[in-house]
Chains A and B, each alone.
Chain A
Amino acid sequence: MKVPKGSWVQIHQIVLNPEERAPQVPDDTKQVPLELRVNGFLDQDAEIGKEVTITTLIGRKLTGYLRKENPRYEYDFGQPIPALLTIGQELRNFLFEEGRSK
């Protein structure tokens, strides 16, 4: 399926292959490439995975492989954390209720 020109997309580039990585990088990082992701407006109709050009929010042209159309914000507030949920009540009881009973 083609993503239409002008869509807000994310592209992906390999900046450095594993063998090109800096000498001071730890071993686990050296085994993987340095990757770049950038969002912008697609300059031409294209399919996911194809090499494309985008225009970024400041008007620069960047090339890379089309990764996602209208990429979702992939983070949120997570789940409520049981280990945090009761802290407020505990502190209020300690500070206010005990004081009031005295």
Chain B
Amino acid sequence: MKDMSYLRVMERKNEIMKQAIGIDYQQFELSPIAFDYERMMKEVGYSLNEIKEIQSETGVGNTPLLELKNITRLVRKISKPGYGAKIYLKDEAANPSGSFKARRASVSVYHAEKHGYRGVVAATSGNYGAGVASQAAMRGLKCIIVQEVYDSTGLGQPEILEKGRKCEAYGAEVLQLSVGPELFYTFLKVLEETGYFNASLYTPFGIAGVETLGAEIIEEIRKREGKDPDAIVVTHAGGGNLTGTARGVQKMDALDTKIIGASVDLSGLHMASDKAFNRKAFTTGHTGFGMPFATWPDRADVPRNAARALRYMDRYVTISQGEVFYVTEALAQLEGLERGPAGNTSLAAAIAIAREMKEDQIVVVQETEYTGAGKHPSAQLTLAIEQGIEVRRGNPADDKPGERIIIPEEPAQIHVKDVDLDKVRQSYLKNVVEKIHINSVNKLELTFLAQEIKESEAYVLRILQEMGVNLK
């Protein structure tokens, strides 16, 4: 009988993972710091054409790209003359499970089936659960989803409860946990007990599945506009949405298209806190994932995370909860598209960003998600009000996560806050130095680190030297 205590199970992590993913990550390691990311993506993942084929088998992708004519007009009305980019929206809610996560799940579930796994397991409180459950239903595999749902009083987050219901609707077993990072422990136990495939969000399969999203955007915009979009705004949490989309854009050689990450600002709320859990009106797409995953991607449930947002991010902005709710209303009322709030994070950011851009420029918002009971502004704001959080109209600059949600009074009040990417890059390098305990780097590691943060080797070396780390 195996010892199933927390510490013993965590100690068996690598062996459980190797069995559950079937990837020998060791073969890509180049040094304690560096690994061959591109070789991992190429050898473990699938090519863009293979993925298109896999996704077409289960009706994933090729979602409508909609020109938001009224929102574009609105933006131009509140911009300086000659400003206000045309806004397109990729309606990812049209995927089988209601979000882009179907793309991410499709390749993992295909791969699990191909390699003879009888089932798939995913640790996720987000739309990914429904994505995996839906794909597993189509391919006849069993599915277990492990979610973080409740606080210690038994109060569940409405949008996560809805996501759990949806997984059960697709025939999945749903394990609903209370708050805490030990979700990972339950996840490992389930993998060990069942021998199922770990349909992690962060394997090369998951990320490669999103590449078609970036590629479709470029193909479609070229067809309609005869040029590439100037910017694509991506909701950023764990980094897979941004990484996969950007890789697809690069594979289409759209090298001038800027990739902008956007997260809901939840600064000040501790993500593992029982008391803070239900003071959030967003449970995904927020800075509580966006920041830690950008600055240390290898915190994920696989040895090497294939989602490495800093490699691709040209700009990173935050937006307040109230602004996203306002924009969710605007999308329904002006464009006739009622969609889930978390998926509109990038749209809210794009409205502010489009105002800085010229009229002949194009910005693409690359996702929407389905909406329904729980996953809805009124459900999430009702929870907020019941938790004693103030919800009112006003200047969104006064928004304070966990205390006040300020719904803008007018569209011109929607603003993004730029995150200083230099600080994020430096924080990544600091994590490398502290977590791997290094006092020098070699040339190969320097090259790797420069790629990791999309900066020059000279930049990396300067920052490392400030921390007492030198070139060997």
Contacts and interface: CB of A to CB of B under 8 A. Distances in A.
A22 B381 CA distance: 32
Given A57-B168, A83-B393, A92-B333, A24 B272 contact: yes
A28 interface: yes
A75 B377 contact: no
A57 B172 CA distance: 6
Contact of B6 (A16, A36, A76): A16
A58 B118 CA distance: 11
Given A26-B270, A32-B274, A75-B374, A21 B333 contact: no
B326 interface: yes
A6 to B, nearest CB: 17
Given A87-B330, A91-B333, A92-B333, A38 B174 contact: yes
Contacts of A26: 270, 272-274
A74 B70 CA distance: 36
Interface string B159-181: 00110010010011111111111
B23 to A, nearest CB: 24
Interface residues of B, number: 63
A33 B186 CA distance: 14
B227 interface: no
A18 to B, nearest CB: 10
B152 interface: yes
Interface in A76-102: 76-81, 83-84, 87-88, 90-92, 94-95
B166 to A, nearest CB: 11
Contacts of B329: 84, 87-88, 91
A34 B180 contact: yes
B377 A74 contact: no
A58 B373 contact: no
B142 interface: yes
A20 B272 CA distance: 16
A78 B407 contact: no
B73 to A, nearest CB: 6
Contacts of A83: 381, 391-393, 407
Nearest 9 pairs between A and B by C-beta? A78-B382, A88-B333, A32-B152, A56-B173, A75-B158, A87-B329, A75-B374, A58-B142, A78-B379
Contacts of B275: 28
A21 B142 CA distance: 30
Contacts of A57: 168, 171-173
B180 A80 contact: no
B74 interface: yes
B255 interface: no
A28 B142 CA distance: 36
How extensive is the interface on chain A, given as a class?
35 or more
B273 A28 contact: yes
Contacts of B438: none
B334 interface: yes
A53 interface: no
Interface in B89-142: 119, 142
Nearest to A95: B74
Given A29-B180, A95-B334, A22 B6 contact: yes
Nearest to A90: B410
8 contacts: A15-B185, A36-B175, A36-B178, A56-B173, A81-B382, A87-B329, A91-B330, A94-B411
Given A75-B158, A75-B162, A38 B173 contact: yes
B380 interface: yes
Contacts of A38: 173-176
Contact of B374 (A37, A76, A79, A88): A76
A78 B379 CA distance: 4
Contact of A84 (B6, B179, B407, B410): B407
Given A15-B186, A34-B180, A94 B274 contact: no
B74 A74 contact: no
Nearest to B136: A58
A60 interface: yes
Given A36-B177, A73-B373, A81-B391, 20 more contacts: A26-B273, A29-B274, A32-B178, A34-B177, A34-B182, A35-B177, A37-B149, A56-B173, A57-B172, A58-B119, A60-B144, A75-B156, A75-B158, A78-B379, A78-B382, A79-B378, A81-B377, A84-B329, A91-B74, A91-B329
A25 interface: yes
Interface in B376-413: 376-383, 385, 391-393, 407, 410-411
A74 B173 CA distance: 18
Contacts of A79: 378, 382, 385
A24 B382 CA distance: 31
B325 interface: yes
A81 B381 contact: yes
Contact of A35 (B150, B173, B333, B381): B150
A22 B150 contact: no
